[in-house]
Amino acid sequence: MTDVPDKISVLKFGGSSLKDPGSIERVVSIVAGRLGEGYKVVAVVSAQGKITESLLKDADIYAPSGNPREVDMLLTTGERASAALVAMALTSKGFPAISLTGSQAGIITDDNHTNARIIEVRPARVEDALREGKTVIVGGFQGVSFKKEVTTLGRGGSDTTAVALAAALNAEVCEIFSNVDGVYSADPNVVKDAYKIDEMSYQEMQELSEAGARVLHSRAVEFAKEKGIEIHCKSTLEPDSPGTVIKGFETREKIRKAGVAYEKNVTLIHTYEPDLTGLSTINNVLKFCRKKNVSVKQISFHKGYKESMVGSFILSKNDNYSCDPFLVELREKFQTAVEIINDLSAVSIVGEGITDKPDTLLDAIELLKSNEIKVSGFHTSSFRISLLLSTEKLEKSINLLHKYIVG
């Protein structure tokens, strides 16, 4: 045997990169390429093509108001199947490989079914297999709780599996492969002039992901930032191009508007307090969300019109698999103490320093207004401005705001 250093390469392949035999063949050749460069390889895989969507549709037939434990049992089969297929394909081409479920790979999570967080990675079996000279294919998006229950990490969660494994195995880089060649300034399916961004900071990427960009799971970025792992997003068609590199930067002096992201179909919920002591409705509504395993975003609570107290928060359909039946129950339980607004979407501008001054926010509001688009609300965080508007106007708004940030 040649004297090769023990370098580990962690790769992740998305569903579109595994959808048919031709795609799997490409994955095999990328893995073979990394092996040829002297790396030991761990490849994390998503479910093939649109399998997750189709499993979710099945779940809707038998458990229309949700059954998070069984949904996790069901969804994890998608990643398990593609891991086994890739392991078979590699082995039959002369590259010995073994597939592992998230649980077998030591991905330990909390017990929050359908949206679990990784709390620890114990990659002993992965390391053993690598030592035996095998390539390890791990089913992404899944783990096991301390109670030995199978869990999933939320839509797009395979990215997080990959980054967590890269950290646990001391890899410096995690390569995320998909059918696009990097992170774009806006969704290229919506904005025809969107361009690829060569480098992004962790925080910019995290804000883009949280604002709805599907290229990377936001927790994957959170993990990468914490552990100092570089993420390279690239296309399976160009495995040797750098794609988009996400890493830490010294603070930039200049304000930059990096990109526009959107989240289609969010639900805005207002709560009203019947008396001035406040907090009772919002408390009960949030407790109800917790009981029903519904995750909420951007909660606020403050004094409203004529001394009444109002709360508000947002539900994302993407984060919650059985949103519609939940909303019906919410309405029945809380009646007029809640207002449920359903036809909204959120569009966000992300970039370092963009909320240092109110200029970008004011420009965005003015621009939308002059195009007869009504803004139903907005909020800002240090790297992001998010505007709520009607879903009907979403595409137009994304294009207008992208044109604005390009200048």
Contacts (CB under 6 A) with ligand ASP, residues 333-392: none
Q: CB pairs under 8 A, 24+ apart, for 292-295?
A: 292/66, 292/326, 292/329, 293/66, 293/68, 293/112, 293/113, 293/114, 293/115, 294/320, 294/323, 294/326, 295/115, 295/319, 295/320
For ligand ASP, the closer of residues 141 and 334 by Cβ is 141
Binds Mg ion (CB under 5 A): choice among 9, 13, 15, 260: 15
Residue 49 engages ligand ASP in binding (rule: CB under 6 A): no
Residue 15 engages ligand ASP in binding (rule: CB under 6 A): yes
What is the nearest approach in angstroms of ligand ASP to the Cβ of residue 195? 25
| Span from 41-49, 208-216, 240-248, 332-340 in contact with Mg ion (CB under 5 A) | 41-49
User: Does residue 310 sit in helix, strand or coil?
Assistant: strand
For Mg ion, the closer of residues 46 and 203 by Cβ is 46
Contacts (CB under 6 A) with ligand ASP, residues 135-154: 140-141
Q: Give every CB contact of residue 70 below 8 A, 6+ residues apart in sequence.
A: 59, 63
Task: Look at the block and give the residue holding tokens 């095999």.
Answer: 28
CB 211 within 8 A of CB 386: yes
CA quadruple 354, 405, 400, 368: dihedral positive or negative? positive
CB 391 within 8 A of CB 345: yes
Binds ligand ASP (CB under 6 A): choice among 9, 17, 52, 293: 52
Partner that binds at residue 101, options ligand ASP, Mg ion, none, CB closer than 5 to 8 Å by kind = none
Question: How many C-beta atoms surround the C-beta of residue 291 within 10 A?
Answer: 8
C-alpha to C-alpha distances, 81 to 17, 25, 36, 365, nearest whole angstrom: 14, 16, 26, 47
By CB under 5 A, the count of residues binding Mg ion is 2
Partner that binds at residue 244, options Mg ion, ligand ASP, none, CB closer than 5 to 8 Å by kind = none
| Span from 44-52, 63-71, 348-356, 364-372 in contact with ligand ASP (CB under 6 A) | 44-52
| Span from 46-54, 65-73, 114-122, 182-190 in contact with ligand ASP (CB under 6 A) | 46-54
Residue numbers of the site for Mg ion (CB under 5 A)? 15, 46
Residue numbers of the site for ligand ASP (CB under 6 A)? 14-15, 46-47, 52, 78, 140-141, 155-158
